[in-house]
Amino acid sequence: MTERHSHPGLKSDLYSDFKDPEDWLNPQKLSAIFGPHADKNGNNKEGARIFIGITGGIAVYKVCTVISRLAQAGAQVTVAMTESATRFVTPLTFQALSGNPAYTSPWEHLESSDPQHISLADRSDAVLIAPCTMNSLASIVHGQTDSVVTLILSAINRKTTPVLIAPAMNDAMWTQPANQRNIQLAQADGNIIVGPGDGWQACRHDGTGRMSEPADLIQALARAL
Ligand SMILES: Cc1cc2nc3c(=O)[nH]c(=O)nc-3n(C[C@H](O)[C@H](O)[C@H](O)COP(=O)(O)O)c2cc1C
């Protein structure tokens, strides 16, 4: 198994640097948490390794900001997208923002040493699924590996790697009994649910189900590391 990093995470002395919500979008401040740092022997480590799984909701555009700021802060960001997600924003955008290939199928970027993206999962310090559709949430809680996102997630070591899920859907989908059951199952399995928030939705409704804002997603990742 790949050696895991010990990243500084959000220690209380670092927290005092984040007084304004906008500070969570400031790459310079974020680099203290996500950027390369020296270990106790003075050796330089690479930045935090963050795996971001993107599924097919309109809130995909907000994740561009998350990835851009994390990459600027020195994090090693790897993105995987479901087929539906690629209909909203192209993989090229995420490849350019992260500086790494964006995975869109279980059948690409296969290496003989990593035929099922297991080592990609192994070397992640934290995982964020954002936006997480009602469909992908259902797949995750039922152990289905029908997209590259849920396949990689299935190889994550839950004892060492925090998994954050940011649901995004309209208010009717959010309150569906099946979806509410799935949220409870996801929490019981140890996933950290971030949001959703209330407000205006792309479907012209006003209600619960908006994905959390980029600054809130980055803050949640910092707390989880
Ligand atoms: C314009 C449009 C917007 C959508 N937005 C959402 C959304 O915000 N949340 C959601 O759960 N599904 C949304 N859907 C439906 C999902 O894309 C659909 O359920 C898809 O099968 C999800 O696949 P995935 O979970 O593999 O990405 C949207 C569909 C369309 C056409």
How many Cβ atoms sit within 10 Å of the Cβ of residue 175?
13
pLDDT of residue 1: 45
End-to-end Cα distance, the chain: 19
Q: Which atom of ligand 1 is nearest to the CA of 134?
A: 11
> For residue range 86-121, what is the model confidence (pLDDT) as tens digits?
999 999 999 999 999 999 998 887 776 776 678 888
CA of 129 to the centre of ligand 1 (A): 14
Domain that holds residue 79: 16-35+45-168+179-197+213-224
| Total count of domains within the chain | 1
51 forms bridges with which residues in the sheet? Answer: 78, 127
> For residue range 168-179, what is the model confidence (pLDDT) as tens digits?
999 999 999 999
pLDDT of residue 147: 96
The tokens for 80 are: 């995987």
The answer to whether residue 11 sits within a structural domain is no
Spans of the chain below 50 pLDDT: 1
Q: What is the CATH number of the domain that holds 27?
A: 3.40.50.1950
The beta strand positions in the chain, using DSSP E, are 49-54, 76-81, 102-103, 126-132, 163-167, 192-193, 197-200, 206-210
CA of 58 to the centre of ligand 1 (A): 7
**pTM summary value:** 0.92
The answer to whether residue 83 sits within a structural domain is yes
pLDDT of residue 123: 87
Please give the distance of CA 150 from its chain centroid, rounded to a whole number.
Answer: 12
Q: Atom 6 of ligand 1 has which residue's CA nearest to it?
A: 57
The answer to whether residue 1 sits within a structural domain is no
